[in-house]
Amino acid sequence: MTMPAKTMFDKIWERHAILEEDDETLLYVDRCLLHEGSSHTFANLRETATPVARAKQVFAFADHYVPSDPEQRSRGTSAIADPEIRNMVELLERNTAEHGITQFGIADARQGIHHVAGPELGITLPGLVLTGGDSHTSTHGAFGNFSFGIGASEVTHVLATQTIWQRRPGNKRIVVDGQLGFGIAAKDLILAIIARIGIGGGLGHVLEYAGSTFRNMSMDERMTVCNMSIEAGARAGMIAPDDVTYAYIAGRPYAPKGAAFERALAYWKTLPSDADAAFDQTVTLDAAAIAPRVTWGTNPEQGLAITERVPDPAAEGDADRRDEIAKALAYMDLKPGMALTDIEIDRVFIGSCTNSRIEDLRAAAAVAQRGRAKVPTWVVPGSVAVKQQAEAEGLDRIFTSAGFEWRAPGCSLCTALNGDMLQPGERCASTSNRNFPGRQGPLGRTHLMSPAMAAAAAISGKLTDVRHLAGTN
């Protein structure tokens, strides 16, 4: 009897399904990630005298609320001026210690944004169901697993039972073939995908990214793509594991070792979608057609190639979209028809769980060395390990010589916490994932782009086609 063809998501879901009830399935959870915002979860456990079911499968990271100012960081939690924020960082330490959960705190050499440090440590593996108290847990799907963000009550359920109830999402496939052009990054590609399918294009679905473009990407690049799947409304994003994945995992602290690795590898190789597996929809893009992209509006769908102009609401036939464009332009203080390259900026942020890995910093440094920052520019590595590697390669010296500020690892300006935020009306070229109103600070204006594009904006003082700086195009 021939077994029906299955997608990678189907295989992982069915392997983890415990029971079905009505339209929901109880899934076994392999690993759960937490950050400082988990205090309500631990309060719930304490109130009901509920122990953590499998503490060794839970990992906590101090990242959202830790200061990125190097001088503050050197003094630990005592340097956090806001007592509420200081308490959240310290409370994570106490809560995890009470329950025997591994925590990578503010002074830990393994600390970092959990979507950066988790994969570095080998916590993220193919074939898992991995949950996290943060929407960008989708990042981890780059390893060929089902990773998704959950709310506080769901985190409580996972910690108490190592399971979660979920409605089974559909499957969509995004196929991109060909080679990205000079100066084009994974960030440009995912912004192009979101512009194509819309911020609701993945709603109720898992997105599987397939095609030669993704197969030729490094793990850093794949994580950037999967990170922003949530910005298309998807439940998760995933890329089939391959030799690139296995080489990245091998030897990392929490990865399987020896015979266990070989057994895991044999399983991982069964995960890719069967050749004739059915998807609800397949969307195709040509990698060669992708240009450097920036957002002009107030959601990640509202972006264009850097060579284009700000849209005119009057040219939009649909009344709702016309109104949406007009509201976005009013908030962003942009005029219809102006060239994107005429938009001046006040600040640059290179960091976040989307673009703070070593390859991102290398790309930014390659541009930074061509000039000097005309606006305040922060470079915030995603983890202590990334920071140390960048310093070993001399990237920090390139940034500081160009007038960029080299900071300590954390979420920083991406989440506008702990004082790292835009002032009202400030316009920021940012490598983060969200450009919603107020995301980087009250009344702040955010333009999303790749690390190289952000560095180009820093040394020109406005949105710039990075290809021009290299004398190309």
pLDDT score for 84 = 87
The length of the chain, given as a count of residues:
473
Instruction: Kindly state whether residue 383 falls inside one of the protein's structural domains.
Output: yes
In the block, which residue shows the tokens 């976040």?
A: 352
In the predicted model, what is the mean pLDDT of residues 6-35?
97
* 8 A C-beta contact, residue 36 and residue 89: yes
Instruction: Kindly state whether residue 14 falls inside one of the protein's structural domains.
Output: yes
Residue 157 DSSP SS3: helix
287-315 pLDDT, tens digit each: 999 999 999 999 999 999 999 999 999 99
Q: How far apart are CA 413 and CA 352, in angstroms?
A: 8
Beta pairing class for 163-166 and 24-28: antiparallel
> pTM value?
0.97
Alpha helices per DSSP H over 121-228:
152-161, 186-197, 212-215, 219-227
Q: Kindly list the distances between the CA atom of residue 469 and the CA atoms of 45, 404, 454, in Å, as whole numbers in the listed order.
A: 55, 18, 12
pLDDT band at 69 (very low <50, low <70, confident <90, very high): very high
Short-list 172, 134, 162, 135, CA closest to 53: 162
Q: How far apart are CA 363 and CA 287, in angstroms?
A: 19
Instruction: Kindly state whether residue 398 falls inside one of the protein's structural domains.
Output: yes
pLDDT score for 116 = 98
Q: How far apart are CA 287 and CA 424, in angstroms?
A: 37
Shared domain for 299 and 153, answered yes or no, is: no
The number of folded domains in the chain is 2
Instruction: Kindly state whether residue 190 falls inside one of the protein's structural domains.
Output: no
Short-list 302, 286, 336, 304, CA closest to 453: 304
pLDDT score for 72 = 86
Q: How far apart are CA 417 and CA 449, in angstroms?
A: 21
From 121, 151, 166, give the residue that closes a domain: 166
Instruction: Judge whether residue 471 has pLDDT over 70.
Output: no
Shared domain for 313 and 460, answered yes or no, is: yes
Cα angle for residues 400, 387, 108 (degrees, 5° grid)? 135
Q: How far apart are CA 345 and CA 49, in angstroms?
A: 52
pLDDT score for 27 = 98
Short-list 299, 283, 225, CA closest to 447: 299
* 8 A C-beta contact, residue 409 and residue 381: yes
Q: Kindly list the distances between the CA atom of residue 135 and the CA atoms of 230, 242, 316, 384, 396, in Å, as whole numbers in the listed order.
A: 7, 25, 32, 22, 30
From 128, 151, 166, give the residue that closes a domain: 166
Instruction: Judge whether residue 418 has pLDDT over 80.
Output: no
158-196 pLDDT, tens digit each: 999 999 999 999 999 999 999 999 999 999 999 999 999
The 8-class DSSP code of residue 78 comes to G
From 166, 186, 214, give the residue that closes a domain: 166
Instruction: Judge whether residue 472 has pLDDT over 50.
Output: no
Handedness of CA 203, 352, 436, 294 (dihedral sign): negative
pLDDT band at 81 (very low <50, low <70, confident <90, very high): confident
Which parts of 22-157 are beta strand (E)?
A: 24-28, 31-34, 58-61, 102-104, 129-132, 146-149
379 or 473, which is more confident?
Answer: 379
Write the DSSP string, 296-361.
-SSSTTSEEETTSB---GGG--SHHHHHHHHHHHHHHT--TT-BGGG-B-SEEEE-TTTS-SHHHH
2 or 433, which is more confident?
Answer: 433
* Helix H or strand E segment including 83: helix 83-99
In the predicted model, what is the mean pLDDT of residues 240-265?
98
Q: What CATH number corresponds to the domain at position 19? A: 3.30.499.10
* Helix H or strand E segment including 74: helix 70-74
196 or 73, which is more confident?
Answer: 196
Which parts of 112-204 are beta strand (E)?
A: 129-132, 146-149, 163-166, 170-177
For residue 45, what are the domain limits? 8-166
Residue 245 DSSP SS3: helix
